């Protein structure tokens, strides 16, 4: 659904329309009768914009502190596509470390300004560029002092040279208004051919991508010889984005991969390796601990690098699980002490758990070997011990590994 015209947003933010915004925030946005009452005596476009604004602010609480979310100028789709405060601050730190405070960054396809807010907060100047006039205006309003804007194409010849951040669209909207995610590299807009042009022109930059993209496909579209690094970011254990760093902003060896876990109020935790250090470690038998790496490590293909830090091996190819005689250190790993193993037969596992004071049973699996939601309920016992049950296909057999969680991922 197209955004209301910029003039509507300007008018909505006038003090005399504060009662409309307050009323829109107090109703159920899915209640047709409440919306009809809100529309009485008001412009339909103004009401639509007010509902968009208040819905966006509600959704923004998942990505920004409440005081930021409450003053954001945005639409719901803009909020959904925007970088969170946590990830934006992380990326902005690298821009400052490499470029220095006060440097100008071109924020291309800036949207509502998730990344621009992080960049200006870090002391950088931002030129926000978006083809949508309303979105570039939103970005400048949200990023505040230090951010100017232009409504133009990212390849506009009048744009200054200098480092850039690009956030290509990874979604498309059908005629019925249904929004779906895009996963193929050529489905992005702007697409790879424009990435190459931007890299050749600006040299230093970052391109925000979906974490599920084929890393090798990304590398193949780069100009020959360009310094680059691919960082996979997870926030509190959930994958949120990949960043292609190029030029001086690729701080590590050419072709390096980095897995980064971001957690509130804590410094980021990262693991990185050159391209040659990617892959899976050698396999081996189950040992005293079963170890689950953060999703960013598995997605970046850094299980081998993780294993090199300790004496871990992989449990079986493709499972993404490690095993060792000692817990793996740091928040990038969750450790589980193995207490029992058996072929997976539900009644046998239930009997063992009942005999060993089981309470809540956390179910983990790989490759949809079983339905974890059903088992989570059916295996729960009256006891006080919380077990984690891994049900894994190792070779041709389906095995149950009963464990106790040793540490929680931050």
Q: Is the pLDDT of residue 283 over 70?
A: yes
Distance CA 29, CA 21 (A): 13
**Could you state, in order of their start, the residue ranges of all structural domains in the chain?**
6-60, 80-275, 289-405
> What does the pLDDT read at residue 113?
98
> What does the pLDDT read at residue 180?
52
- Pick from 5-9, 69-73, 104-108, 374-378: least confident: 374-378
> What does the pLDDT read at residue 67?
95
List, for residues 37-88, the tens digit of each pLDDT value.
Answer: 999 989 999 999 999 999 999 999 999 999 999 999 999 999 999 999 999 9
List, for residues 127-136, the tens digit of each pLDDT value.
Answer: 999 999 999 9
List, for residues 322-373, the tens digit of each pLDDT value.
Answer: 999 999 998 999 999 999 999 999 999 999 999 999 999 999 998 777 888 8
pTM over 0.85: yes
To the question of domain 80-275 being in CATH 3.40.50.620, the answer is no
| Residue 182 confidence class, pLDDT cut points 50, 70, 90 | low
Distance CA 200, CA 215 (A): 20
> What does the pLDDT read at residue 410?
41
**Residue percentage of the chain with pLDDT more than 90:** 75
DSSP 100-127: -TT-EEEEET-TT-HHHHHHHHTT-EEE
Residue 91 backbone phi and psi in degrees, to 5: -65, -40
């Amino acid at each position: 659904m197209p955004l209301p015209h910029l003039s509507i947003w300007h008018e909505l933010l006038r003090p005399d329309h504060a009662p409309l915004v307050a009323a829109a925030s107090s109703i159920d946005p899915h209640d047709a009768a409440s919306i009809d009452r809100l529309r009485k005596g008001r412009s339909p476009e103004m009401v639509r914009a007010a509902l968009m604004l208040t819905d966006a602010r509600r959704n923004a609480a998942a990505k920004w502190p409440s005081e930021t979310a409450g003053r954001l100028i945005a639409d719901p789709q803009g909020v959904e596509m925007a970088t969170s405060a946590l990830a934006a601050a992380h990326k902005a730190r690298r821009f400052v470390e490499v470029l220095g405070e006060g440097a100008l960054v071109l924020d291309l396809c800036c949207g509502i300004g998730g990344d621009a807010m992080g960049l200006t907060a870090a002391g950088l100047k931002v030129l926000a560029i978006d083809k949508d006039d309303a979105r570039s205006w939103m970005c400048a309003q949200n990023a505040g002092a230090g951010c100017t804007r232009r409504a133009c194409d990212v390849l506009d010849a009048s744009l200054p040279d200098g480092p850039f951040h690009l956030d290509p669209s990874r979604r498309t909207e059908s005629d019925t208004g249904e929004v779906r995610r895009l996963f193929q590299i050529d489905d992005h807009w702007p697409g790879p051919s424009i990435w190459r042009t931007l890299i050749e022109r600006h040299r230093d930059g970052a391109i925000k991508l979906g974490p599920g993209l084929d890393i090798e496909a990304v590398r193949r579209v780069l100009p020959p010889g360009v310094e680059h690094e691919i960082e996979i970011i997870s926030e509190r254990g959930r994958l949120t984005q990949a960043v292609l760093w190029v030029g001086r902003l690729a701080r590590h060896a050419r072709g390096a991969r980095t897995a980064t876990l971001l957690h509130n109020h804590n410094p980021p935790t990262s693991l990185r390796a050159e391209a040659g250090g990617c892959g899976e470690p050698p396999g081996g038998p189950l040992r005293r601990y079963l170890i689950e790496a953060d999703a960013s490590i598995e997605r970046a293909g850094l299980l081998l690098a993780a294993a090199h830090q300790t004496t871990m091996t992989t449990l079986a190819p493709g499972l993404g699980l490690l095993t060792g005689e000692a817990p793996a250190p740091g928040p990038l790993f969750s450790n589980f002490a193995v207490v029992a193993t058996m072929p997976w037969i539900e009644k046998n596992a239930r009997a063992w758990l009942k005999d060993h004071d089981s309470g809540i049973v956390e179910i983990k699996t790989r490759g949809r070997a079983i339905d974890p939601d059903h088992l989570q309920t059916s295996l729960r016992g009256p006891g006080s011990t919380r077990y984690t049950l891994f049900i894994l296909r190792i070779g041709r057999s389906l095995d149950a590994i009963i464990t106790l969680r040793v540490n929680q991922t931050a």
